[in-house]
Amino acid sequence: MANLDPKKEAESFAKYLATRKILIADPSSTARSGLFNVFRELGAKPNLTVLVNSFSQAETAIASDKPHIVVAEYELGKRCGLELLQKQRESRPDESKECLFVIVTGNTSQTAVARSAEEDIDAYILKPLTPELVRRTIMKAALEKIRPRAYVVHIDEGKRLMADGDLDGAEAKFTEAIPLDPSPSLAMAYLGQVKVIRQALDVARDKFQQGLDYNRIHYKCLVGLYDVLMKEQEHVAAYDVVRKLSQYFPANPKRLAEVLRLAIVIGKYEDIEKYYSVFTNLDDRDETLIKYVCAALVVCGKYYLSTKLGHTRALELFRKAAVTASGRLNILKEIILALLEYRLVREGRAQGAHDRPGARAHPARREGPSALHGDAAGFAGERAQGRRRPALFGRGDFFSGQEAELRRHSEGEGRLRLERRATGPT
């Protein structure tokens, strides 16, 4: 941002704000009022400022009013204010450079901050507010957009050229940007992306790594490096990167699922249990994540059974999977069958009996424990006759590769030995 006299900065900002539509979304009426006061003092026009108290009202206002500036509480009832960012971008697809998205919240947790950072918001302001801090933060964010630095101008131009397919031009712009910033990780990240498009994965990897040398938590460099390593099937190195991503950006359900898959691929079974503890802290657990967590616990448990060192540990993992499964019968069947396979009949019966219709009420599930016992017996019978039992995971599922390995060794040798072979994500 070009250095301006503070008075001139304030004037520029007031001029910018005077014509901008603003949406303030917060369940607290007093918080909305306080923010409205701050923006009014900064130069916003009251008739261009809309106040709403819920996510749905905010969605409607974004669709109808297309605000340039959205100020949202992170906790908007049952929804997250962060979700409004995408809606704002969709409402003004060609003007994202002039729009601001600000979170103002009492949520100080690192998970909320990291999730917001991943979405590339413009500012994250804590409550209780300090009006002067709000003014300075909003003004700084806006001036960075109204009067971007030379570094940002070069990056934006490079991005535009990349989007137009002019890779040479884009690469030149990103390269020109490097000396314009003391820590040009963003330029390196985009150079890496150009190299990826050009299929020069080794060079791309170097660029992302150079970006991380400047700044070890640069998000685009971390994600770029991870993607390249996965393309190169360097799973051990990819796992290190995704672990760092999880450390700095915890509680992203999609990433947790990726971490679980990689942990299984490279045999980091002890980490599965640590990630399970993360899972139990998450507020939003979508179906995919539940499936992956259960699958990871079951595969992990089977591995421990196969080593004959960790029966107790295996049983604990199966218990956790059963609890997490919450009545999902395919998971429970796999657990029971694994226990029967290793002649842990008492445990297998206990697991089946535990899942009574009353304890795991699920509207879609009508089978009870007797059906489970019957199925388990039926499956055991099928196996005795040499018929294969259905796999836990569908064809093409990432884990099915690992499962197939487990089964081949089990049937071939009578003793399980897991080969850590990369099968690649689905």
Partner 1 sequence: MGKKPQRPAPPSAPAQQDDELIRAADFVSVRLDVHFQNLLSGSGVVPAEQVTLDELGDKALVLGLPAGSCNVSHGVMIEIARADASARKGAPVLKATGKVRGIEKLDEDDDKRVRAHIDLVQYDEESWERLLALFSGRQLEINRFLAAVRG
Residue selected from 93, 128, 358, 363 as contacting partner 1 according to rule CB under 8 A = 128
Q: Is the Cβ of residue 283 or residue 413 nearer to partner 1 in the bound state?
A: 283
Residues 6+ apart with CB under 8 A from 377: none
By CB under 8 A, tell whether 77 contacts partner 1. no
Q: Which residue has the tokens 């691929």?
A: 265
Question: Which residues in 310-349 contact partner 1 (CB under 8 A)?
Answer: none
Residues 6+ apart with CB under 8 A from 338: 298, 301, 302, 305, 318
* Residue corresponding to tokens 């990726």: 258
The amino acid at 99:
C
* Least Å from the CB of residue 200 to partner 1: 22
Q: Residue 250 burial (CB < 10 Å; 0-12/13-18/19+)?
A: middle
Report d(CA 312, CA 314) in Å as an integer.
5
Candidate list 44, 82, 113, 194; residue touching partner 1; CB under 8 A: 113
Give yes or no for a contact between 77 and 59, defined as CB atoms under 8 angstroms apart: no
User: Binders of partner 1 among 338-397, rule CB under 8 A?
Assistant: none
Q: Find the binding residues for partner 1 in span 199-238 (CB under 8 A).
A: 211, 214-221
- Give the residue carrying structure tokens 């100020």: 71
Listed as own residue / partner, the contacts of 332-336 with beta carbons closer than 8 Å and 24 or more positions apart are 332/372, 333/372, 333/375, 333/376, 333/379, 334/298, 334/392, 335/298, 335/301, 336/372, 336/376
Q: Please list every residue from 32 through 71 that binds partner 1, using CB under 8 A.
A: 32-34, 36, 46, 51
Residue 252 in the binding site for partner 1 (CB under 8 A) = no
131 binds partner 1 (CB under 8 A): yes
The stretch near partner 1 (CB under 8 A) out of 62-70, 184-192, 227-235, 365-373 is 184-192
Token pair of 66, please?
A: 């297309």
Kindly state the smallest distance separating residue 254's Cβ from partner 1, in Å: 16
Measured in whole angstroms, the distance separating CA 11 from the mean position of its chain's CA atoms is 39
The order of strands in the sheet holding 22-25 is 49-52, 22-25, 69-72, 100-105, 123-126
**Minimal distance in Å, beta carbon 282 to partner 1?**
8
Could you tell me how many residues of this chain bind partner 1 (CB under 8 A)? 65
- Which stretch, 2-10, 27-35, 88-96, 304-312, contacts partner 1 (CB under 8 A)? 27-35
Site for partner 1 in 282-301 (CB under 8 A): none
Q: Which residue's CB is nearer to partner 1, number 51 or number 329? A: 51
183 sits near partner 1 (criterion: CB under 8 A): yes
Residue from 111, 307, 326, 423 binding partner 1 (CB under 8 A): 111
Could you give the C-alpha distances from 388 to 191, 328, 372, in angstroms and in order?
A: 50, 21, 18
Our finding on whether 156 is near partner 1 (CB under 8 A) is no
Binding site for partner 1 (CB under 8 A): 28-34, 36, 46, 51, 106-114, 116-118, 120-121, 123-131, 133, 137, 179-186, 189, 211, 214-221, 243, 246-248, 250-251, 271, 274-275, 277-278, 281
